[in-house]
Amino acid sequence: MSLASTSPSRADQPRRLSILGSTGSIGCSTLDLVERNPDAFSIEALTANRSVARLAMQAKRFGARLAVVADDSAYADLKEALSGSGIEVAAGPAAVAEAAGRPTDWVMSAIVGAAGLAPTLAAIRQGTVVGLANKETLVCAGSLMTAEVRRCGAQLLPVDSEHNAIFQVLDLEQPQSVDKLILTASGGPFRTFSRADMASVTPAQAVAHPNWDMGAKISVDSATMMNKGLELIEAHFLFDMPEERIDILVHPESVIHSMVSYVDGSVLAQLGQPDMRTPIAYALAWPERMATPVERLDLASIGRLTFEPPDETRFPSLRLARAALRAGGTAPVTLNAANEEAVAAFLAGRLGFLEIPEVVERALEAHPAVELNSLEEVDAVDSRARMTAKGLLEARAPGA
């Protein structure tokens, strides 16, 4: 397994952190916990895509040594915003990766999408502890990344609530005792919608998740259930578990975050409020636990927990993700790239909600899986899949 199974060395001094994607929901939740434990952590580097004002505020507030914006065109604004602060400023994708590679004790990988691949790899190669909230890293390059983790002596701690839940109840010392993993899914905002109902849903409806506060792209993925498909692929690589032994169960209350079924018939579950500060805190403080302000779970007031199987007819993204994982090689890269392009088009009002998985499926058909041998190949496959998806989107445009 690729997970940390031994305790890191502990020191009396604060643990040095770098947060990749600090202005997003995961990054902000991480900094909220850091602020509540000022003696336990110090900030080395913060990165963002182009949210200059928020990044500059965070860097000054937490005394970061370095602030990086991925968008080169935002460099001047960031430099001006941090003028006189003594905080180092940089810009561009290469600078984000360099920030990730700075010596630290712990790195939060929370950049959304394939853009997080190179920075996460840089963090892994410094041999540190990486809190992994970027599922695309393992979706696009799972076998290659886990090999780098072993080679560099790094440690992966899953931050996604589902994988973190499994990590909390998984017996790492006896992997042979595990029967299967059970990932739970809220079902998203359209869980009870028919396909006819979903044909006309808007981006505003899709990003209004009933339980979780997430960014737009992840919220749309949750609405299509592609998010759960990506998590299935991630779980395969994180826990070295075959696809056929990973189940998905729709659980609308989002109280049970995932389960592990054992060969003796026992099923262990991790429960909690749908608040990302709980899994983030578990990863931040591991192998210990830290207090959080998360509302405590009151099962009596909830009253009932419900479950149902996922409907792959209404939500074909699950079927596509399983097929990509079974195909292996380049298929998950194609799946992810085409999905990112389709979701972006939907959010921009250029594609219907039900057309998102259609674009993904056609991209997979256009690019049959071949073996993936290097991280450089990931970029090439990603680019080809995006070009195909954009071509499909142009063909669907009115008047095309």
Which of the 8 DSSP states describes residue 3? B
Question: What domains are there in the chain, each with its CATH number?
Answer: 15-159 (3.40.50.720), 328-400 (1.10.1740.10)
287: cis peptide before it, omega within 30°? yes
Cβ-Cβ contacts under 8 Å for 365 (sequence gap 6 or more): none
Alpha carbons 217 and 193: distance in angstroms, whole number = 20
Q: Which amino acid belongs to residue 378?
A: V
Cβ-Cβ contacts under 8 Å for 208 (sequence gap 6 or more): 189, 219
- Which single residue is written with the structure tokens 């009870």? 192
Q: What is the pLDDT of residue 398?
A: 54
Alpha carbons 5 and 146: distance in angstroms, whole number = 14
Q: What is the pLDDT of residue 213?
A: 66
370 closest CA partner among 320, 323, 332: 332
Counting other chains too, the contacts that 197-206 makes at CB distance below 8 Å and 24 or more residues apart are 198/314, 198/353, 198/354, 199/352, 199/353, 199/354, 200/352, 201/353, 203/346, 203/347, 203/349, 206/346, 206/353
For residues 235 and 160, the answer to whether their CB atoms sit within 8 Å is no
Tell whether the torsion through CA atoms of 53, 57, 60 and 63 is positive or negative.
Answer: negative
Question: Quick one: tokens of 367?
Answer: 């690019």
Tell whether the torsion through CA atoms of 238, 241, 243 and 246 is positive or negative.
Answer: negative
Question: Quick one: tokens of 350?
Answer: 């250029």
- pTM assigned to the model: 0.90
Cβ-Cβ contacts under 8 Å for 295 (sequence gap 6 or more): 273, 275
Element of type H or E holding 254: none
pLDDT tens series, the chain, 400 aa:
556 555 444 557 899 999 999 999 999 999 999 999 999 999 999 999 999 999 999 999 999 999 999 999 999 999 999 999 999 999 999 999 999 999 999 999 999 888 899 999 999 999 999 999 988 889 999 999 999 999 999 999 999 999 999 999 999 899 999 999 999 999 999 999 999 999 999 999 999 877 766 778 889 999 999 999 999 999 999 999 999 999 999 999 999 999 999 999 999 999 999 999 999 999 999 999 999 999 999 999 999 999 999 999 999 999 999 999 999 999 999 999 999 999 999 999 999 999 999 999 999 999 999 999 988 899 999 999 999 999 999 987 654 4
